[in-house]
Amino acid sequence: MTKKVLITGAGGFIGSHLWRYLDYHHYLVIPCVTTKPNRPHPANGQIYSFRLPDQQLGSIIKQEKPDWLVHCAGGASVPKSLSSPNQDFRDNVVATESLFDAVAKNSPETKVIFISSAAVYGNSSELPIREDTLPNPISPYGFHKLMGELISQKYYRLFGIPTTILRIFSVYGPGLKKQLLWDIYQKWLTSEIISLYGTGEESRDFIYIDDLGKVIHQVMIKSDFKATILNVATGREITIRQLANLMVDKLGEKKQIHFTRQTKSGDPDRWQADITRLNRLAQINWLAIETGISNYAHWLHRIGEGK
């Protein structure tokens, strides 16, 4: 029998890629989106359209009885969480509580994968960052993702809902229209000088979107679903200066890069994940960042040409 996977936030960057990936691997995907996509998506059945929290989710779970539920929905912007913390709380905390309540009441055997974020760590004093590092969020988004993790753990420990928590680091790839790489592209299009926050020595741990799909798939199959927390990244640190130079090189036309030395609220200094736990669960042949950035630049040129 075909296994069912319900994806919340299936119209977003991570959710839409995961939808395609699991559809390709012959899962029956049950996509839940905020607004129905106006472009073709692989679909084996109905697309559900609503915004969490919504009682409709409980009815869908009761009817579909998914084997897994991957919770990708929610706010995903540090700047927006700073300007509208109450809305971010509703999108990331209230929505997550309502989701787990719906699972507990309608299909408690469904395995839930909660998509969290490395933003829960904030500025860590030690690199690489391990899962047992004390969280120290520096944005409402980071705090709210941490609250979502606690909700996940609550429903596992008190109500037996099988769950796994994934702390995603910096995910990128075709389809991404926000954050640092998109910002570099927009400035590359319009300016001779690409001006960026910071000193350039800040760092991130980037993971390509297709690799993230592989990780989530392996977690579905192999995780013990005992509220385990997993860092999801490559374990490779790259400075923003190195990344910006690589991005400009792949875009084609050389531009000057200037770092303002100004800090941006909610942005951490350095990130590098310890992926020892993840490696015990799954061995992923990570795409080299040079190849990933090249793929992303190619996609940007295609959409710029209207293709």
Assign a CATH topology to domain 4-172+205-236+277-281.
Rossmann fold (3.40.50)
DSSP states of 15-65 as a string?
HHHHHHHHHHTT-EEEEEESS--SS----SSPPEE--SS-THHHHHHHHH-
CATH 3.90.25.10 fits 179-203+237-269+288-304, yes or no: yes
Tens-binned pLDDT, residue by residue, of the chain (307 aa): 899 999 999 999 999 999 999 999 999 999 999 987 665 566 667 899 999 999 999 999 999 999 999 999 999 999 999 999 999 999 999 999 999 999 999 999 999 999 999 999 999 989 999 999 999 999 999 999 999 999 999 999 999 999 999 999 999 999 999 999 999 999 999 999 999 999 999 999 999 999 999 999 999 999 999 999 999 999 999 999 999 999 999 999 999 999 999 999 999 999 999 999 999 999 899 999 999 999 999 999 998 865 4
DSSP 286: P
Q: What angle is formed at CA 3 by the lines to CA 277 and CA 152, rounded to 5 degrees?
A: 45
Say how many residues make up the chain: 307
Query: Contact 211/150 with Cβ under 8 angstroms?
Result: no
Other beta carbons within 10 angstroms of residue 258's beta carbon come to 14
Query: Contact 69/113 with Cβ under 8 angstroms?
Result: yes
Domain with CATH 3.90.25.10 in the chain: 179-203+237-269+288-304
Domain with CATH 3.40.50.720 in the chain: 4-172+205-236+277-281
